[in-house]
Chain A
Amino acid sequence: MAQEAQKEKSMILQKEMIDGLFNDLAQVKETGKKVCYTFIPGNLSELIRTFDMLPVYPEINALQSAMRKKSGGYIKEAEKNAHSEDVCTYVKCDVGMMMKGNIGPTGTKIPEPDILLLSYTGCFTFLKWFETLKREYPNAKVIMVHTPYQENAEITPEMTQYMVKQLKEEVIPQMEEVTGIKFDEEKLKGFLRLSKEAEDWITKIFDSTKHKPSPIDAYFAGVYYIGPINIGFRGTQEAVDYYKELYDEIQERIRLGLGPITPEGEMKEEKYRLVVEGPPNWTSFREFWKIFYDMGAVIVASSYTKVGGVYDLGWRHDAERPIESLAEYCMNCYTNMNIPQRISLLSKCITDYDADGYVTNSIKSCNSFSAGQLAMMRDIEDHLEVPVGFIESDLVDPRYFSYSNIKNRLESYFQMLEQRKSLKETV
């Protein structure tokens, strides 16, 4: 029987926040609150809150379903209804869940959307996803924000202006219309101040991996840490309090010289420090993490923890420029960056956090992540001379997680790391 997973206090706090959100969602009929479905990359949490709406994130529902071993059934349901095997499995899991009654991860029904807010960033599947949802929910209003891709590795004033115009002339008026609430800029500014505060804390938290041993795992535990800012709590005092608490816990671990807490227990010896590119596999999340744990590998930085916003390079929400700031936030998301920008960001992580290696988890059904991954890996291998590893799995489709195949590949990778390390030591 598997050992019961150890939980950090922050994980418990977060569970309470999620449960609270889903309870609120279950009660919209009584409270009359409007519901806004939107995506994590480029989510306009603060704006949604300004109109007292409750957010629903289909990706979060999908990954939660996967962790509860329900995604396989949902995906099959979607495939029975003509969604191809090659379609993003977040989409199929979400669609399948909807077809099976739209029961969310906490066992309560997720209400229908009043708004489908598509502020897509770098993922074209999002467009098709909401097209599908629109067919299922014909009464929902679709609001689409076109986020320009950072093709030339920059956000120009024209790009910001283009987005601000959309936000002011299309998004805000339509939100006013659906909710019957007048836009209150001061209220938005209040949320943005709290967002900045949470972003400062989260940057410090992920920066703690500079310590040796690293007090946290910035991938497997990191996906929990980004939970609050990615599921609609960005801009709330709750999120700020959560991150303060988490930061204090981490400081204590640093003081005691402790490594990360994992579901298998505390990491005793940090043998390898890695940077990981790509989302994790959610269907076998714990087994996946355990492979790294067994090898003494700690993830000191990951790209996936940046999908809901890149704060490493100093960018923050700014209450003094509220709408411009929302526009910049969308354009600054990881999947909206071009490939050289991603390489540069991950290279900085490898250097800053003194990583021994770089591992890519290539996701079978995620184009926005998988495109360019091999080129990125080759580039990083060439210019940093760091050992690179490549594994393949999927987001939430259990059929694409081959435990022995991944373990085999990672074992080979760790053998190389070990021998490279021993060669370095003997030279």
Chain B
Amino acid sequence: MIEFRGVTKKYPNGTVALKNINLKVMKGEFAFIIGSSGSGKSTLIKLILKEEDATEGEIHVNGYSVSTMGRKQVPYLRRSLGVVFQDFRLLPNKTVYENVAFGMQITEALPREIRRQVPMVLGLVGLSKKANVYPSQLSGGEQQRVALARALINKPALLVADEPTGNLDPETSWEIMKLLTEINHRGTTVLVATHEKTIVDAMKKRVIALDRGVMVRDEQKGIYEDESKDGQVHY
């Protein structure tokens, strides 16, 4: 599903964001990418979405060879993924319905298919009654649920979320995590970049920890912090 082989990302200003990352996320998994600010979480997500290019190494996502693909292929890769951002990135001039429908419109879906699918996904995230309101009229949690609905509308095999709870209060954050878990139970692979200790510790899912661009830990049913034998705290 996702494979990083010896991936390094160096920015033009000399900053090394990721160093020799080797990583495999299999179909149906739920994994957290954790680490403090500047650890390389967002860069990793950007490489998956081909927002940035790797300096070295190979990346494979959903059957696409991301490191070698041409520019024209990029939209196809992105459409095969569901993406959720910390700042929701909803289109402010479109209603909830239109925001979700947009994900299907770009895939040349037939209008009748869109009319059938959108209410279904809105129902899944509990926003059926808010279909005709604009994002500015929704709370943060509701906006993130719209973003989730948009990410799910094309039934992606892989959902990538970059700090999905970063702008939400704890209670709403849990609602979103519950939704992500439910989505994962339906067969979608979920990869979440976060630094929410409480959530990571409570969910007991796979944890991939980054520290200053280096992968320091990859544990099944991991927790946020790891006190190793030397007494130091590792992410």
Q: Do A and B come from one complex?
A: no
Residues of A within 8 A of B (CB): none
Residues of B within 8 A of A (CB): none
